[in-house]
Chain A
Amino acid sequence: MAGTSEPVPGRPARVRGPAQDVAGLGVGRALGFVAPALLLIGAFLVFPAVWTIYIGITNYRLTGVEAVSPSIIGLENYTKALNDALFHNALWLTLLFVLGSAIIGQNILGFALAWTMRKARPAVRRTVEGLVLLAWILPSTVVAYLWIAFFDRDTGTLNSILGQQGTAWLIEYPMVCLVLFNTWRGTAFSMMLYSSALQAVPPSQLESARMVGASGWQTLRDVVFPHIRGHVLTNTLLISLWTANDFSPFLLTKGGPNHESETVPVYIYNVALQGGELGYSSAISFLLLIANLLVALLYLRLLRRRS
């Protein structure tokens, strides 16, 4: 900073201060540089979000009179959502889904894989990582088909393995199936993130811990965890947001049977397209957006407190 305190020669008029304009572009050119990005963000992020807010205060529908001439109904959609038992159901199921499959499932399985694979032979490690990654990169429709085949009542793989017939897993235990599915599906990210995070743990400290006779759990808690706490928070934030907004449950159960696995994104889809209530579904989408922001703020606060 001290070295660049003099104005850049040749453009004294445009440079307001060295700290603000290290590249010496000036405000106009700097704006020129970011304008394309801002335009894209404006067109594809800000505008749809604002549009959603707008539709959310109307009674716009997919068909019928309200499709041609919707009217502004203010906050009616929001008050309706607050009293909508199915929306409460969807929120509760989303919470279960995030807690079970992301915060517990993917986090723990991802860390466990990263921790055990650390010392494994490279061949074993690559094979395991490859398989876990495969679950992550396959297209959702393909994966959904495989899992439906796995859970199917009549000729499903799971029933064949268990040597029994007639348990319709996706009907009788829809949420358990979805949690298992999503844990399987998304663990790769946590595994990779923790693998690289674990490399930041100084081997000398691990060595010392072993020398003083720390148990495996003590080592994890007192040596490893303090080093990767930031990563744990980041990872948990990302995967819980992804999971809360994940639509693939629809591919497995369509939210059924009878709303028993209808997480918020699936509920929004069903309300918007099955029920045709575009206005109401936009209002719920906006509520989901706010919930996302709140979760993100909470995590950011935790992160800041740590540092």
Chain B
Amino acid sequence: MRSIKRVIPPAALGVAAALLLSGCLGSSDSGGTDQDANRNADAKKVELVIGANSVKGGKNSAGATFTSDVLIPKFVEAQKAKGVDVTVRFEGDGSDDEVYKQKLALSLSNKAGPDLMNIDGIWVGEFAQAGYVKPLTDTVGDAAKVDDWDGWKQIPESVQQLGSFEGKRYGVPAGTDGRVLYFNKKLFAQAGLPADWQPKSWDDIIAAGQKLKQLPGVTPIQINGGTAMGEATSMQGVLPLLVGTGATVNTDGKWLGNTAQLRQVLDFYRQIYSGGLGDPVLQREAKGRDKSFAEFAANKIGILAEGDYFWRSVVEPKEGVAKMADRDAAVGYALIPAIKPGAGVKGQDFVSMSGGGVVAINPNTKFPQQAWELLQFMNSAEMVEAGLNGAAKITQRTDVNAKVLAGDPMLNFVATKVLPLTQYRPGLAEYPKISAALQQATADVIGGKSTADAAKAYQTAVESAAGGKDKVTSN
């Protein structure tokens, strides 16, 4: 009894203190909007930091190399001519996207973080709501200055959407991408499959998988699943499959719940991962996606769904993280089919999903005007083209794309065949939570749960994430 009495005073003190603190949380944000957008506009000594999830010799190595070795020196030189002494530092990271996002969000919530930051377009909504990024016109202060930038004319509307939220521009998109099915032509030849393979339905994929299964030591199909791969599961797995059933994750303001289409997608996962066509363990490993890259490069995976990132930065013969010296000859690519011809979204036979990065300005930068200058410089035709360094990539700028894509058949294929079919994720703040629920549903199926049970659990998760039953479709 005595011990309880002794606990009461400190407990009471704690509760009192907690009550005193109420209202302190989050309210510090208002400082951001009051800042003068023209602060330090005439400074002669300027320091800027560019943050990105790329690192020399590791993740997105080429991007990091270009930023540190070409972009920054050129910008410094150009500013020197104007009599401004600029120091720009590249703050690279080489972690999983989710980890990079956490780190950035934590920095931004403490008013720190790089002045210019590369973020995934799909984070714009939740970052904007949290005040971590502000509309460019607010940060730069002058709407005309932002809107009159001639670069906007070169960026297609659909790509600009990547950096927008509720009709306002928060950053400049850094290009877009598309998703395809990659396949190993060497394994296909051994299994008696054609080198110009193009499945017309999900059954065609399964049939090819059955043939590849005959080869010893080969995993026939890799469709990202599970929670360990994070957004890669959604972008390369669930979402392209889902649009292949004719559904999208958000239709007319309602989130997809436990519907027949969702169950079809989960059933496809079940077919692959409990039918010996895929490697369920890989989907559960902490480094599963990296391992899938290495296995594909080592001719151990037959079919793999990925974005064009895979072609450019993973199996790329010189700088890729899982180099394939014979990439051009050995790696084939095909459009992702709908569940059956004509059953895809908008009645399409083939489908894809697209996303892309955005460069945004930190609202708490000391030098908003100079940051905007750097952002424009970064997205000038000259720099965008230089950034490719002879390689091809679907950039944000139409003028640059017209020049470079012709040189790379794969990226030309994505630009001309995939992008017209593609879908973008909804730029809504709830999306990441819905996406996490989709990933969990695939994890459940791969872990052995029945499709019906996984879909039921998904429905519950979506209702809580969307904020009510009425915001979710189900049937």
Segment touching A, from B151-159, B267-275, B280-288: B280-288
Residue B112 at the A interface, CB < 8 A?
Answer: no
Segment touching B, from A18-26, A62-70, A92-100: A62-70
User: Could you tell me the distance in whole angstroms from the C-beta of B177 to the nearest C-beta in chain A?
Assistant: 23
Majority-rule SS of B interface residues: helix
A 51-77 binary contact with B (CB < 8 Å = 1; else 0): 101110110111111111110100000
User: Could you tell me the distance in whole angstroms from the C-beta of B248 to the nearest C-beta in chain A?
Assistant: 22
What CA separation (Å) do A276 and B127 show in the bound complex?
12
List of A residues within 8 angstroms of B432 by Cβ: 276
Q: How many A residues face the partner with a CB closer than 8 A?
A: 37
List of B residues within 8 angstroms of A46 by Cβ: 14
In-complex Cβ contact of B102 among A62, A64, A68, A168 (8 A): A62
List of A residues within 8 angstroms of B475 by Cβ: none
Of residues 256 through 307 on chain A, the ones whose CB sits less than 8 Å from some CB of chain B are 256-258, 273-276, 297
Residue B190 at the A interface, CB < 8 A?
Answer: no
Contacts A63-B127, A64-B429, A68-B129 given; indicate if A50 touches B284 (C-beta within 8 A): no
- Contact between B227 and A50, CB atoms less than 8 A apart: no
- Contact between B106 and A69, CB atoms less than 8 A apart: no
List of A residues within 8 angstroms of B102 by Cβ: 62, 273-274
User: Could you tell me the distance in whole angstroms from the C-beta of A274 to the nearest C-beta in chain B?
Assistant: 6
- Contact between A62 and B129, CB atoms less than 8 A apart: no
Of residues 81 through 129 on chain B, the ones whose CB sits less than 8 Å from some CB of chain A are 98, 102, 105-106, 109, 123, 126-127, 129
- Contact between B286 and A68, CB atoms less than 8 A apart: no
- Contact between B285 and A67, CB atoms less than 8 A apart: no
- Contact between A258 and B25, CB atoms less than 8 A apart: no
In-complex Cβ contact of B447 among A54, A67, A258, A273 (8 A): A258
- Contact between B18 and A256, CB atoms less than 8 A apart: no
What CA separation (Å) do A106 and B240 show in the bound complex?
49
Residue A193 at the B interface, CB < 8 A?
Answer: no
List of B residues within 8 angstroms of A257 by Cβ: 226, 228, 284-285, 443, 447
What CA separation (Å) do A4 and B424 show in the bound complex?
84
A 147-171 binary contact with B (CB < 8 Å = 1; else 0): 0000001100000000000001011
Residue A185 at the B interface, CB < 8 A?
Answer: no
List of A residues within 8 angstroms of B17 by Cβ: 50
Contacts A57-B18, A256-B228, A275-B436 given; indicate if A62 touches B105 (C-beta within 8 A): yes
List of B residues within 8 angstroms of A258 by Cβ: 226-227, 284, 443-444, 446-447
- Contact between B14 and A70, CB atoms less than 8 A apart: no
What CA separation (Å) do A276 and B443 show in the bound complex?
20
- Contact between B21 and A64, CB atoms less than 8 A apart: no
List of B residues within 8 angstroms of A68 by Cβ: 26, 29, 129-131
List of B residues within 8 angstroms of A153 by Cβ: 281, 285
In-complex Cβ contact of A58 among B25, B127, B131 (8 A): B25
Residue A49 at the B interface, CB < 8 A?
Answer: yes
Residue A253 at the B interface, CB < 8 A?
Answer: yes
Of residues 95 through 129 on chain A, the ones whose CB sits less than 8 Å from some CB of chain B are none
* B17 (CB) vs chain A CBs: closest residue: A50
- Contact between A67 and B18, CB atoms less than 8 A apart: no
In-complex Cβ contact of B132 among A58, A63, A254, A273 (8 A): A63
- Tell which of A68, A69, A256 has the most Cβ of chain B within 10 Å: A68
* B286 (CB) vs chain A CBs: closest residue: A254
- Contact between A67 and B286, CB atoms less than 8 A apart: no
Q: How many B residues face the partner with a CB closer than 8 A?
A: 39
Contacts A54-B18, A64-B129, A258-B226 given; indicate if A70 touches B25 (C-beta within 8 A): yes
Contacts between the two chains (Cβ within 8 Å), count: 100
* A56 (CB) vs chain B CBs: closest residue: B18
* B291 (CB) vs chain A CBs: closest residue: A154
* B449 (CB) vs chain A CBs: closest residue: A258
User: Could you tell me the distance in whole angstroms from the C-beta of A64 to the nearest C-beta in chain B?
Assistant: 4
List of A residues within 8 angstroms of B226 by Cβ: 257-258
- Contact between B227 and A65, CB atoms less than 8 A apart: no
- Tell which of B18, B25, B29, B447 has the most Cβ of chain A within 10 Å: B25
- Contact between B126 and A63, CB atoms less than 8 A apart: yes
List of B residues within 8 angstroms of A256 by Cβ: 227-228, 284-286
List of A residues within 8 angstroms of B132 by Cβ: 63, 67
* A85 (CB) vs chain B CBs: closest residue: B457
List of B residues within 8 angstroms of A60 by Cβ: 25-26
- Contact between A274 and B98, CB atoms less than 8 A apart: yes
In-complex Cβ contact of A49 among B14, B228, B285, B444 (8 A): B14
List of A residues within 8 angstroms of B285 by Cβ: 153, 168, 170-171, 256-257
List of A residues within 8 angstroms of B25 by Cβ: 54-55, 58, 60, 70
- Contact between B286 and A53, CB atoms less than 8 A apart: no
In-complex Cβ contact of A67 among B14, B21, B131, B433 (8 A): B131
What CA separation (Å) do A182 and B329 show in the bound complex?
48
User: Could you tell me the distance in whole angstroms from the C-beta of A293 to the nearest C-beta in chain B?
Assistant: 9
List of A residues within 8 angstroms of B228 by Cβ: 254, 256-257
- Contact between A63 and B18, CB atoms less than 8 A apart: no
* B123 (CB) vs chain A CBs: closest residue: A63
What CA separation (Å) do A172 and B284 show in the bound complex?
10
* B433 (CB) vs chain A CBs: closest residue: A275
User: Could you tell me the distance in whole angstroms from the C-beta of B66 to the nearest C-beta in chain A?
Assistant: 29
Contacts A68-B26, A68-B130, A257-B228 given; indicate if A62 touches B109 (C-beta within 8 A): yes
- Contact between A67 and B284, CB atoms less than 8 A apart: no
What CA separation (Å) do A258 and B288 show in the bound complex?
13
A 243-261 binary contact with B (CB < 8 Å = 1; else 0): 0000000000110111000
List of A residues within 8 angstroms of B447 by Cβ: 257-258
* A153 (CB) vs chain B CBs: closest residue: B281
Contacts A63-B130, A67-B131 given; indicate if A50 touches B18 (C-beta within 8 A): yes
- Contact between B18 and A53, CB atoms less than 8 A apart: yes
What CA separation (Å) do A55 and B18 show in the bound complex?
9
List of B residues within 8 angstroms of A49 by Cβ: 14
Of residues 168 through 200 on chain A, the ones whose CB sits less than 8 Å from some CB of chain B are 168, 170-172
Of residues 211 through 269 on chain A, the ones whose CB sits less than 8 Å from some CB of chain B are 253-254, 256-258
* B27 (CB) vs chain A CBs: closest residue: A69
Query: Can you report 6 residue pairs joining A to B where beta carbons are below 8 Å apart?
Result: A62-B102, A63-B130, A64-B129, A171-B281, A253-B286, A257-B228
> What would 16 more interface pairs be, CB under 8 Å, given A50-B14, A62-B130?
A46-B14, A50-B18, A57-B18, A62-B105, A63-B105, A63-B129, A65-B429, A67-B129, A68-B26, A68-B131, A171-B284, A172-B281, A256-B228, A257-B228, A257-B284, A297-B3
Binding site for B on A (CB under 8 A): 46, 49-51, 53-55, 57-58, 60-70, 72, 153-154, 168, 170-172, 253-254, 256-258, 273-276, 297
Pairs of residues from A and B, 5 with the lowest C-beta to C-beta distance, nearest first: A257-B284, A67-B130, A63-B126, A54-B18, A64-B126
